[in-house]
Chain A
Amino acid sequence: MEQQVGESLIQLGNSDGSNSSSSDPVTRVRKLLFRRMLVGIKDGRFFLGTFHCLDKQGNIILQDTIEYRSTRRSSPSPMEQRCLGLVLIPSSCQNSCHVDCSVEEQLSLLKV
């Protein structure tokens, strides 16, 4: 565990700046931990929470999650929200996934 953390810290240092897009995606996703993440699912709801965990199957765990849902299928419509806390969003129902980042970060961080 400790070793892993150290590793990710080192890589974080290395990937700083221009060569980040070339580094390993696992490392870059690790850097997204604790960021705000917005996951949309197939029935039209969105979950906004802190990125907590990702597994090989693509299941995501978010912390301190808020659920957003619209009151009408036709958009735009007002949103309802409620707090859910720790949620697991199976990859099978994920539809979209966004992270909160600055514009300049956007390009370097997320390019595959």
Chain B
Amino acid sequence: MADKPVYEEASIDGQLPKLASIPASDTTVWADASPLLQAACAGLRDGELIHGDNFNLFAAMSALEIMDPKMDSGIVCTYYSIDEAIENGAAPIPISLDSTIDVRCTIDIMDHLLACEAAWHKGHSLAQTVFSCIYLLRLDRTAPHALLHSYCRIIRATCKAVVSVVSDARTHEEEDLFTMTYGLPLNGDGDDKCLSILNAVEETISRQLRACKATSSKRRLPEDLEPLQSNPNLEEGFCKALLCRLRFRKHFFHVLSCMKRPQGRGLESARKHIASCLTELESILKSAGFLRSCFDESCEGDIDDKTTASGFEPIGFDAMLNSRLSAPTPPRAIKILSWKKAVEYFVKLLHDLDVICSYSLDPHLESLLRFVVQFQKSQPDLVARSHLQLLLVQDGKLYGRDPFFAVINKAAALPESTKNHDIQKNESFLQLGMLVMNLLKILCTNAAWQRRKLGKFLQDWRVIYVQLELAFRNEYGEVSSSSNDENTCMKIFQHILLWVEEQTYWIAFRFLILGFELELYSTGEYCMVYWYLYAVLIKLAEKTHLMMAVSHDTAKRKGKKKKDSPKDLARESRIPPAVLFLQCYICLAEGLTMMLAALRNEIPVFHSPSPFNTEHEKFVQHFELLQRACIPDHVSYPSYKESTTHARFSTLAMYNYFKDAQRIAKEVKSSFSNDPERLAELRKLEQVAEHNSVAQNVICRLGALDPSLRVSFEFSHHPFFATVVVKRS
């Protein structure tokens, strides 16, 4: 380490007085034990320890290792405290007496702060990233330096706003480092004025830019303005580089505050600011060329690794200074994102936020759920996910606007009159509302946490189903037909029960496919996974179909005045496209199950039991949560065994499920011509089906005969339906 001489120096001149300041008790003294310990070490045999009765090797393993960079957060590197660092000139103000260098260094600080901010969003602690900036730690000191002061102030305000969004959303259980701010000076007076301060600075610089442009074109401006810095050749470039950085901060701050407005009222203006942010980020990227070229000294190393656009090391940062604040988590030695990566991160974040802002606040739950799932496919980071969640659930209402009972009402196709029905005061209905709210929240979390939560959550849905069913039986079990009101209630219950089942299977389906995303399944387990997926999908399709029939019924009754056209009748008898869509999934899942089972049954290589746990144990590990909630009913390991033991190539050859899938995908595409997202999905499904159909033919013809045939599985066409690849080795 470069600081080694410093250590030694510290220990020599500091030792005695410091010892005196840690007193032994009144009657005792500190006696130097090092020579004795050394002698004892020499006397010990290899592996021998000196320890007492209470020693436990296992417990000793958990000891915090001092000076280990991953465990010891207290390592003193350069400075002992912020004050000492400042006294030693680690964060001077002004940064340089040469105004040109001062401006360049200010830009470096801005760039490094952006990189720090991105690293923070990506999961490192605030203390080790943004607040490694000594200027931020003592913000008041920067007051004489308007440029730096305004930038630091808005950074602090932005961090505070982001922390509040993330902690309000509570989507961050897995990412709890994010909101740890204790000990950091995050709250300062007057941060509400940060925008006006920034605007004033921006105004000055844009006037300076105008002035320098005027001078270069030999015109004179009436205003008498000091230039930004002393070198006229660099004036324009510096002014521009600063302006885009300041404006980015301004717009980004606006984005955050607009998105926080209740009931999505700020989304439209947020989108405008997002567009401005993206433009400014582009200018920031462009400014790199100028910043790199304006000084003769060239910097070493690859520019892509640097945290600043100019490539210079920024002044005024020391991540170790307050690493103690990041306790109790170990202060991992972290790497701040490079400046380029940081800009890329913000571009992605802004795009994700734009997707949220452009959503139409559709009160229909089904399309909302699909929107959230689709949004998650782009793997948005924590900040974007938190914003989505806060938008969806506000004050216990959807978008802070629609009560969840009304949302369920709509989703379960209940008659309009139920909206104000007394039934919503029923305990089970209140709970159901909570479940839907929680479902939305869970869907906004990261994939790993989401899967775990969904798995446990299934039981709650099962319980609510049973409760509703009981309540329904108690009230209407005996009554055959009676007053109009009771009839309505009965209808409500019937619809709701069906709808709850549909949701439950949808959640189970999500749970299973998240396992693919998280790569939790090994090739040897695909067979049972696809089998289970198939079982869940069958139920989901069944419930969806019933639900559609019921809602169609309601809709039809509503519009009774219209004549039943023959076209309408024809449509009714057909299977709805949404169900056909699921049917396509079903065929693929079934096809893959059967092919995998046949491979296992007929080619010995495929049937290699794991040395660690049996197939049954694996089945339990993967589907325990589903089994516990009886999803679906009567599905168990024996039923899995039973349905797959007889799979043979000869039977596969007779019936090709993939051909079915391909056909359905082709047919149903026309029904989704105005739904690009599902159309894209269907195209993928079609590809997988086509590939697998061919692969299956090859396997059936040659599989048993040709021992050199190698079969592998890839997710090249679809995220969770594997493409079968057959090769000859």
Contacts and interface: CB of A to CB of B under 8 A. Distances in A.
B7 A102 contact: no
Nearest to A50: B52
Nearest to A80: B81
B18 A46 contact: yes
A72 B84 contact: yes
A75 B64 contact: no
B28 A101 contact: yes
Given A43-B7, A56-B41, A71-B83, A32 B33 contact: yes
Contacts of B22: 38, 46, 48, 68, 79
A86 B65 CA distance: 9
B53 A5 contact: yes
Contacts of A95: 11, 15
A28 B37 CA distance: 9
B27 A102 contact: yes
A73 B83 CA distance: 11
Contacts of B64: 84-88
Identify the interface centre among B10, B79, B84: most chain A CB within 10 Å of its CB.
B10
B50 interface: yes
A43 B76 contact: yes
Interface in A49-101: 52-58, 60-61, 67-73, 75-77, 79, 82, 84-101
A31 B13 CA distance: 32
A82 B72 CA distance: 12
Contacts of B7: 42-44
B238 to A, nearest CB: 37
A46 B76 CA distance: 12
B98 interface: no
A75 B30 contact: no
A57 B50 CA distance: 11
A59 to B, nearest CB: 9
B40 interface: yes
Interface string B62-86: 1111110000001111011101100
A99 B30 contact: yes
B479 interface: no
A61 B60 contact: yes
Interface string B129-163: 00000000000000000000000000000000000
A97 to B, nearest CB: 5
A70 B14 contact: yes
Given A75-B18, A112-B39, A53 B51 contact: yes
Contacts of A94: 34
Contact of B67 (A24, A90, A106, A109): A90
Contacts of B62: 86
Interface in B22-42: 22, 24-25, 27-42
A67 B74 contact: yes
Interface string B44-65: 1111111111010001101111
B40 A54 contact: yes
A94 to B, nearest CB: 8
B581 to A, nearest CB: 57
B51 to A, nearest CB: 4
B519 interface: no
Nearest to B61: A88
B8 interface: yes
B37 A36 contact: no
Interface in A1-56: 5, 24-26, 28-30, 32-34, 36-38, 40-48, 52-56
B21 interface: yes
A53 B50 contact: yes
A66 to B, nearest CB: 9
B200 to A, nearest CB: 36
B75 A43 contact: yes
B277 to A, nearest CB: 41
Contact of B44 (A26, A45, A112): A26
A30 B105 CA distance: 57
A43 to B, nearest CB: 4
B324 interface: yes
B43 interface: yes
Contacts of A97: 32-34, 37
B681 to A, nearest CB: 53
Interface string B312-331: 00000000000010010000
A106 B35 contact: no
Nearest to B66: A89
Given A44-B11, A73-B84, A102-B29, A58 B37 contact: yes
A82 to B, nearest CB: 7
Nearest to B43: A26
Contacts of B569: none
B21 A76 contact: yes
B17 interface: yes
A51 B666 CA distance: 75
Contact of A57 (B35, B41, B60): B41
Nearest to B57: A53
A29 B74 CA distance: 28
Contacts of A99: 30-31, 33
B654 interface: no
B10 A44 contact: yes
Nearest to B48: A56
Contacts of B25: 100
A88 B505 CA distance: 52
A29 B81 CA distance: 36
A105 B55 CA distance: 26
B28 A54 contact: no
B34 to A, nearest CB: 5
A106 B31 contact: yes
Given A43-B76, A52-B55, A55-B44, A100 B67 contact: no
8 contacts: A29-B40, A41-B66, A42-B8, A46-B22, A52-B60, A56-B48, A72-B83, A90-B67
- The 6 A-B pairs with the shortest beta carbon distances in the complex, nearest first, are A25-B39, A98-B30, A29-B40, A88-B63, A71-B81, A44-B10
